[in-house]
Chain A
Amino acid sequence: MSDAPLVLCADDDGDILALVALRLERAGYEVVTAGDGDAALALARARVPSVAVLDVMMPRRTGLEVLAELRTDPVFVSLKVILLSARVQEADMERGIDAGADAYFPKPFKASELVDAVQALLNP
């Protein structure tokens, strides 16, 4: 076990998931990954991460649904959530922020900027 903050990454696109995980690991975080919404929710409950990076359009449960679920649970009161999505219209982003996301990254995003955002959310 390390003292590094735990980040949960969820995306049904394995390449993006591996990229984000690698970037965050290189930046010194402990990373757990999930390939769909259900797995993300289960992993969040099992490991209680400091940050969750969730893709919006995932099978079984969308990132927005996972987010809504997490926001009802007091265990996750200090959890920071970043949404990733290829849906880039303003309305989509607003929906994400309204649902309780701390940041919204439209795809394609710069992985280095995502890492910066994780850092900024953990050290405000």
Chain B
Amino acid sequence: MHAYAIGIVGAIVAALVLMRLAGLVRVVERSRRDERLARQEAEQAQHLLADQNEQLVELDRLKDEFVSSVSHELRTPLTSISGYVELMLEDETHEETRAHLAIVERNAQRLLGLVTDLLFTAQLQEGRLELERAEVDLAQLATQALQSARPRAEVAGVNLELDVSDVPQIAGEPVRLAQLLDNLISNAIKFTPADGHVRVGLHARGGVVCLEVSDTGIGISDAERERLFERFFRSQGALERQIQGTGLGLYISKAIVEAHNGWIAVESTEGKGTTFIVELPVST
């Protein structure tokens, strides 16, 4: 009888253990299934992400190709506009008409500048800034850049100063460095009210040539200074004062400096002026 009772209890215990085990197996199976589902979902999500990423890369490429081809297409009509204006200016003697034609020509040049900047930006986006390095005399480039900026400065009533000490030559691309100087000087003139000053300084320090372009212009707020080198960024001051620009000049300048293994920074006090500091290594 006792043994019989023990047998029954044993059977109940065994049944309970079995039920518990079966429950555990179910739990394990369910969690395995969940895991498998989760893995499948993760894989699907990853595929989706990869697809979307591919589409984005493709879109980005199409956009750059578009900009590049539009830039090319814009040059052709500009050739006719500038070419016929040049022709008319040679034949025209009436002063007022000549003045009007000069305005057309100036704006055609402005449009060309824009197209050139857009094309260059598209190239930068494709990661295609390859430098053709040569020995560059920055002092000479700075003198030339200032010389060509002089007419614009005169119109704006801004004084230009050049402060150059003996600087060693650097290994760089003359065209791009001239573009950098022109961008910084043009900006300084644009943002400086009449009777202000723009100063271009150039000196050597250690293994670097230090270029400083400072102005007594409207300055930039601290918040905006952070975003100054972003593509298409335009400051509030520029927009309010309707100062013309595309927001590409400083973005391009920074890319040129970095392609030369250099460094660019800005210091500014609102209402007082701005200084751009560029350091370019002598040997790169």
Instruction: Chain A residues near B132: list those with CB within 8 A.
Output: 90
Render B101-133 as a binary contact track against A, CB cut-off 8 A, 1 for contact. 000000010001000100100010000000010
The count of residues in chain A whose C-beta lies closer than 8 Å to any C-beta of chain B is 18
Contact between A16 and B80, CB atoms less than 8 A apart: yes
Render A67-103 as a binary contact track against B, CB cut-off 8 A, 1 for contact. 0000000000000000000111110000000000000
B272 interfacial by beta-carbon distance below 8 Å: no
Residues 7-41 of B contacting A (Cβ, < 8 Å): none
Contact between B78 and A108, CB atoms less than 8 A apart: yes
Render B66-105 as a binary contact track against A, CB cut-off 8 A, 1 for contact. 0000001101101111111011000000000000000000
Contact between B86 and A13, CB atoms less than 8 A apart: no
A95 → B minimal CB distance (Å): 15
Contact between B76 and A86, CB atoms less than 8 A apart: yes
Contact between A86 and B83, CB atoms less than 8 A apart: no
Instruction: Chain B residues near A106: list those with CB within 8 A.
Output: 75
Q: Is the interface of B mostly helix, strand, loop or mixed?
A: helix
The count of residues in chain B whose C-beta lies closer than 8 Å to any C-beta of chain A is 19
Render A14-43 as a binary contact track against B, CB cut-off 8 A, 1 for contact. 011001001100000000000000000000
Q: How far is the CA of A115 from the CA of B206 in the complex (A)?
A: 49
A121 interfacial by beta-carbon distance below 8 Å: no
Which residue on chain A has the smallest CB distance to residue B108? A108
Contact between A107 and B86, CB atoms less than 8 A apart: no
B207 → A minimal CB distance (Å): 29
Contact between B86 and A88, CB atoms less than 8 A apart: no
Which residue on chain B has the smallest CB distance to residue A92? B72
Contact between A110 and B86, CB atoms less than 8 A apart: yes
B contacts, CB < 8 Å to A: 72-73, 75-76, 78-84, 86-87, 108, 112, 116, 119, 123, 132
Which 9 pairs of residues, A with B, have the shortest CB-CB distance? Answer: A108-B79, A86-B75, A15-B80, A107-B79, A107-B75, A86-B72, A19-B83, A108-B78, A111-B83
Residue pairs across A and B with Cβ atoms less than 8 A apart, 29 shown, are A13-B80, A15-B80, A16-B76, A16-B79, A16-B80, A16-B83, A19-B79, A19-B83, A19-B84, A19-B87, A22-B87, A86-B76, A86-B79, A88-B119, A89-B119, A89-B123, A90-B132, A107-B76, A107-B78, A108-B79, A108-B83, A109-B79, A109-B83, A110-B82, A110-B83, A110-B86, A111-B83, A111-B86, A111-B87
A contacts, CB < 8 Å to B: 13, 15-16, 19, 22-23, 86-90, 106-112
